Structure 1
């Protein structure tokens, strides 16, 4: 790939459909392969169809900026929607397929959705009042056919790159999911950045196994298309499905989170499955030295990219594959278009090997939280005076340090977020679900270090009323109302909760107790 410009001009997101040669493959699906010419036409047709649906909902109004929510299976529809919505002047809001009714209802209401596309099973789980009155609901089965027959396709857009293109909902440390606002420029430059430092070429075949509701998952599509390469969406049931897909499609690029890597390296990988893989990438949690060695052994011909990031600032850092074995605990250096500063509590720049807050500056920084000025002001603040970019920066709350050789090392999170299987989990969401059952009087959700998950969710509760009934019924009720990745791995019952000197539940003491008791 040619050298990247220091400050390339961002373009409207939908122009990614125009980056490959007409006859080159862009998307491999169960039903067949879309070339770049097919991709551009399909994006244009779906954009025209989306605009028409939103106009109906808005009684003939233009509907520019209206939110289109997708809660659908991974495939052609969900692959096209990010670009089609952008081409139509709409804002795409993808929902994690693992979420359940309460979280989805919050997202629909908070985003003031104009259109919801989903499969019948998911849609039937919603109850009266969950869907805004002005939101039009369409089952996904008919969308592709209706869009293909709709008529004239919309041409590539002339959108302002600073316009809002997507809202990605992510759990916060206090309460319900919050929507991160991403512009065309954020997503375009993110695709350019990743395509460049991974060295993607137009003959690459990227296996997209991560959910498109994650920025890491969606970028697998966007960066592949920026390079004129091909993406293969895959919803897998078992690790063996990933291996079979690598063989079937000659996969060159494979990305995963640590829990999936643990499962994959336990499998028997035949040479025909690994021989075409040029690079493997990891984010969503750190790899330990043992996993690094196992991955290098399983994929001996591949370069291993270890990465760190957060939705509010897309991707922050990556570690040069040449340093993975000698510096396995480092998160590397800033990706293209990112500036990473380590700032002391007094606002000055930290010295080498001195701990501080990781602050992300530059054009990859998101536009804030959707309709949440208070939380935006907490996380999105003016960049430190040492920044070469200036403007707004993401003050991550994460603690890190930079060594004398310029490599960054992650130390820990300041807030109480739980990071399990690559998912950011709000403790309050888990606690609220437990309290809503009426079976417990107090609840504290904590993350406990776990080799496979990164952190496992543990729930500490005090029963309300009959303790026996509560212990019997609470797990089943939580299983119905929380996504699988939020389910407590263990529930601890206490007669009284420990209190700290400030009169609050002693979360730090509980966390220490659980960690000491962990196997």
Structure 2
């Protein structure tokens, strides 16, 4: 039986101390390609990295960005930056120069630590202000020579400790501000409802720049378990790592699950798995059936979340077979309300907006009061927590048993392979080439990706220039943002207000 859940937040860097406090100090904590750190060694490495950061004389609250693949630096920096009183800004390694430049400028990062190739991709004009560039290995070497910090920080749990950038339906990615308490209680919540234990091994396949990806680390360490970071090229690499490391916990998004179910899993790879967790899109009934068939001994946890409030709901594994399309109920520390169009609590079966209340709600968008005011609003009067709530924009229904079901989104954001993609960002990249006059990016349903990006443009009729558009987009946008199809038009359909009729284009392309 699990112990009662502890709702008292602590500074995030205290996670490095927990396993030692609970007697698991000599158990594996981080399994890298060339070495393995136990929890005592993890604590030491975090302390040294924090000590080096402190010696760099950065102001309290300064933003330090990382732009590298999964490894010692990217895994330890969330805790080390917190211990040093800094704010960590992880940049997805899949992003390219334009997106990284925006994040650095918007966050006001004073230091960027990354792999040499990524740093070389930046141009002098890309950097504004005083942002020091440092190669990943140089930072790790400097940390080894540093002394120790003064142990766990005494930070106020409500202080800002991380900014995670996420795409919205319009404009450039926006930075979601997360406090120590947000991340700490998120770790406690997930570790509790997933029933994580000190002998669990989590394969971290999701990007650490995502809230879901970062939580792979901190929820596992909260429970005293170990994490195996993996940047994979092929789905078979995931199965191979599961067999090699005796993985018990695997988190993925639906498109990856589809690819994994197409593999021939060995007993060595599948049998150690105790739990599968899904977010970033709904599982289909067929996919649930396939996962339950391959991993019959593992609990399957469908989940729903949004970066602005971390995670909102999960479905009890015992209900997956009978309610495969449900989002479940609220996770610990989350209060989920369904508010109808009249502003009242929706009745059972009535559609409404999902509103997330409670201590997992983020602090808003970094230096963006206008967009913060649109999403972060006072909690409905029906809320137990009160305060600020996240009004998700997602339409849901709650059944008679309290289970939630996703209906749709109000905005035009594209979700493809678990990535949130801003249509406007794709459109701006196309128009910036000077090859098109108008551009509309749409997410068209796709069995493997959830949605694939289709780009409708009006522009040149020159075939060579049309081919050039695809080449330029490949240079400017990360792979997951690339249009699967570019549709050329002589004219765009217009609605009665004279604006491009996106609904008509979507209807045409989705047939």
Q: TM-score, normalised by structure 1?
A: 0.96
Equivalent in the alignment of 1:73: 69
User: Which residue does 1:18 correspond to in 2?
Assistant: 17
8 Å contact from structure 1 (residues 45, 154) kept in 2 = no
Superposition deviation, residue 470 in structure 1: 3.2
- Select which of 180, 205, 209 maps to 1:209: 205
Name the structure 1 match of 2:309: 313
**Counterpart position of 2:7:** 8
Structure 1: which 5+ residue stretches go unaligned? Answer: none
| Number of residue-to-residue matches in the alignment | 507
Contact 2:2-2:195 within 8 A present in 1 as well: no
Aligned: 1:190 with 2:193:
no
**Contact 1:87–1:154, Cα closer than 8 Å, also in 2:** no
Where do 1:1-150 residues align within 5 Å? Answer: 2-5=2-5, 8-20=7-19, 21-53=24-56, 55=57, 63-150=59-146
1:401 corresponds, among 394, 397, 400, to 397
> Which stretches in structure 2 are left out of the alignment for 5+ residues?
none
SS in 1 for 2:510: helix
Root-mean-square deviation (CA, aligned residues, Å) is 1.0
Alignment-derived partner of residue 221 in structure 2: 225
**Match for 2:343 among 321, 341, 347?**
347
Q: Does the CA contact (< 8 Å) of 1:210 and 1:256 recur in 2?
A: yes
Deviation at 1:8, TM superposition (A): 1.4
Q: Does 1:159 align with 2:155?
A: yes
Tell me how far apart the structure 1 counterparts of residues 260 and 463 of structure 2 sit (CA, whole Å): 40
Deviates more, 1:41-50 or 1:21-30: 21-30
Deviations 1:31-80 (A, max 9, x none): 22111111111101000111222x1xx5xxxx100001000120111110
Contact 2:67 2:114 (8 Å CA) reproduced: yes
Residue from 443, 458, 464 that aligns with 1:462? 458
Residue in 2 that maps onto 1:286 = 282
Alignment map for 1:366-381 (pairs within 5 Å): 366-381=362-377
Instruction: Detail structure 1 runs of 4+ shifted over 6 Å in the superposition.
Output: none
Instruction: Give the superposition deviation at 1:133.
Output: 3.0
Shift of 1:153: 3.0
Q: Distance in 1 between matches of 2:139 and 2:241?
A: 26
- Is the deviation greater in 186-195 or in 16-25? 16-25
Deviation at 1:394, TM superposition (A): 0.3
1:498 to 2:479 alignment: no
Question: Deviation per CA, 1:167-223, whole angstroms, max 9, x where unpaired?
Answer: 000011111000000000000000000000000011111111111000001000000
Contact 1:113–1:132, Cα closer than 8 Å, also in 2: no
Q: How much has 1:244 moved relative to structure 2?
A: 1.3
Which of 467, 473, 489 is matched with 1:472 structurally?
A: 467
Residue 240 of structure 1 pairs with residue 239 of structure 2: no
- Checking the alignment, whether the CA contact within 8 Å between 1:88 and 1:154 is kept in structure 2 is no
Match of 1:422? 418
Q: 1:448 maps to which residue?
A: 444
CA distance in 2: counterparts of 1:514 and 1:344, whole angstroms: 31
SS at structure 2 position matched to 1:247: helix
